[in-house]
Amino acid sequence: MAGSELKKELSLLQGIGLLSTSLLGTGVFAVPAIVAYGAGGDGLWAWPLLLVLVFPVAIIFAQLGKRYPSAGGVAYFIARAFSPKLGRATAWAFLSVIPFGLPAALYISSGFWISLFNLPGYMELLIQIITLLLIWSVGLFGAGASGWIQSAIAILIIGLMATICLVPSPTVLSIEWPSISSVNANNIFSAFAVMFWCFVGLEAFVHLTSEFKNAERDFPRALIIGLIIAGFVYWACTAAILYFLPIDATPTTALPKIIELLFGQAGLWVICIIGYLACFASINVYIQSFARLIWSQTSIDYPDSRFAQLSRRQTPVNALTAVILCSLIASVLIYFVHIPLDHLLEYSNGVFVLIYLLAMVAAIKLLKGQSRILAMISAVICLGLLAVIGYKSLYAIGIFVVLCIVLKNNNAIKKLNH
């Protein structure tokens, strides 16, 4: 083993880049269009409302990350608050999103090249495989490399959105909001079920707290600033689509059509490159965080395992390779079975909201004073989001219950053997 601790190399700027791009990544080029077409002008209110709901959850994550920095993330918080068994169940529940969430993100990323070049179907899978290999290569150099790469990508995304919003005359940012009295609550709640995908990334970001140079100071700042940046960009995208109203477009082609309208064919090339890089950035953060979660769990329970080893660059390469292989297998299966993208996103959201809920419950026990009250409020918010997702959240709940039962039985067997 080349080292026993992860290298502390993330700065505030790198942290903001990692979070903002993980939040923007796969969602920014599809979800705003879904919201605009589904909720109409009400979507302009949906983004700030959801941001207000997510903000307390983000603050609690910041408090937990500052007080209990660990690559184990939410699983570590649960273990600290309740028991190691429950922490392990949470960790494996978090990893259960790999077969759905990562293939969905890879599918969105490959769609840019398919739409631009009109490539045959098998090329879609090939692009996804190449993307996974690139992410594996980046992961070999540690979180610092990811941070600088994704800070640059964040600047490109924000620049693209600023161009779309400011080039037209009058500016897209001056779009008229519908009056609050005319807003349809059903439109807002339906939009929330889709929009939550855009704020998935907070819990993954927590896994990197132990790699900040100054976690207590920079981690909370990076979390809040990244969240605000992402929220504004999503609102601006929805405003742009409502402004131009490309009625003949699908959710994944609406933004490219706007770019083509403003800048012609050359603009399509730009948005495809930036879009792919944004998706790459988001997938990269998740795969790196999954690898660190596996490393953290096996370091505690199975210190001699290959997954508990770090490379000479102090990165969990073996765990990273395992995540890449699982993603590859899932992507291949989904390609041949033809599971719809919206199903993948909805079931993934159920897993993420459950993880958020468990983190908030842990925070109620771990934190004190006003932070504990805010954690209670955040837990209620997460319960509400589970209700919005509906029956699809039963997948996540069922997985978690099964994991708890299996781990409990394993503990009982170990005791009998002793």
The two structure tokens encoding residue 24: 């923007």
Q: Is residue 281 part of a domain?
A: yes
> Structurally, how many domains does the chain consist of?
1
Q: Is residue 85 part of a domain?
A: yes
Res 145: pLDDT: 54
Res 204: pLDDT: 63
Cα dist from 128 to 17, 103, 163, 192, 223, whole Å = 23, 8, 29, 28, 29
Q: Is residue 344 part of a domain?
A: yes
Q: Is residue 332 part of a domain?
A: yes
- Is-above-0.85 flag for pTM? no
Q: Is residue 51 part of a domain?
A: yes
Residue ranges making up the domain that contains 390: 12-417
Of 126, 155, 65, 60, nearest to 368 (Cα)? 60
DSSP conformational letter for 305:
S
Of 58, 208, 222, 193, nearest to 145 (Cα)? 208
What's the half-sphere exposure (Cβ side, CA atoms, 13 Å) at 80?
A: 21
Q: Are 320 and 136 in contact (CB under 8 A)?
A: yes
Please state, in angstroms and rounded to a whole number, the distance separating the CA atoms of residues 412 and 34: 48
What's the half-sphere exposure (Cβ side, CA atoms, 13 Å) at 273?
A: 8
Q: Are 1 and 137 in contact (CB under 8 A)?
A: no
Q: What is the CATH number of the domain that holds 120?
A: 1.20.1740.10
Res 381: pLDDT: 94
Q: Are 394 and 350 in contact (CB under 8 A)?
A: yes
Please state, in angstroms and rounded to a whole number, the distance separating the CA atoms of residues 152 and 154: 5
State the helix-helix crossing angle for 341-366 and 73-81, rounded to 10 degrees. Answer: 40
Could you please report the per-residue DSSP string of 86-130?
Answer: HHHHHHHHHHTTHHHHHHHHHHHHHHHHHHHHT--HHHHHHHHHH
Taking the alpha carbons at both ends of the chain, their separation in whole angstroms is 30
DSSP conformational letter for 173:
G
The two structure tokens encoding residue 155: 């600047």
**What number of other Cβ atoms are within 10 A of residue 364's Cβ?**
17
Q: Which amino acid is at 32?
A: P
Please state, in angstroms and rounded to a whole number, the distance separating the CA atoms of residues 297 and 407: 14
How confident is the prediction along the chain (418 residues), in pLDDT tens digits per residue? 444 555 676 778 877 777 776 677 678 877 888 888 888 889 999 999 999 999 899 889 878 877 887 766 788 899 899 988 888 888 888 888 888 889 988 888 887 887 677 777 778 889 999 999 998 887 777 655 555 666 677 677 778 778 887 777 678 888 889 888 888 988 898 888 888 888 887 766 666 666 778 777 787 788 888 888 888 889 988 998 888 877 667 776 778 778 888 888 888 888 888 888 878 877 887 788 788 878 877 776 677 788 777 777 677 888 889 999 999 999 999 988 888 777 787 788 889 999 999 999 999 999 998 999 999 999 999 999 999 888 888 999 999 999 888 877 765 444 434 4
Peptide bond between residue 120 and the one before it cis (omega within 30 degrees of 0)? no
Please state, in angstroms and rounded to a whole number, the distance separating the CA atoms of residues 31 and 342: 11
Q: Is residue 3 part of a domain?
A: no
Res 330: pLDDT: 92
Q: Are 311 and 317 in contact (CB under 8 A)?
A: yes
Q: Is residue 4 part of a domain?
A: no
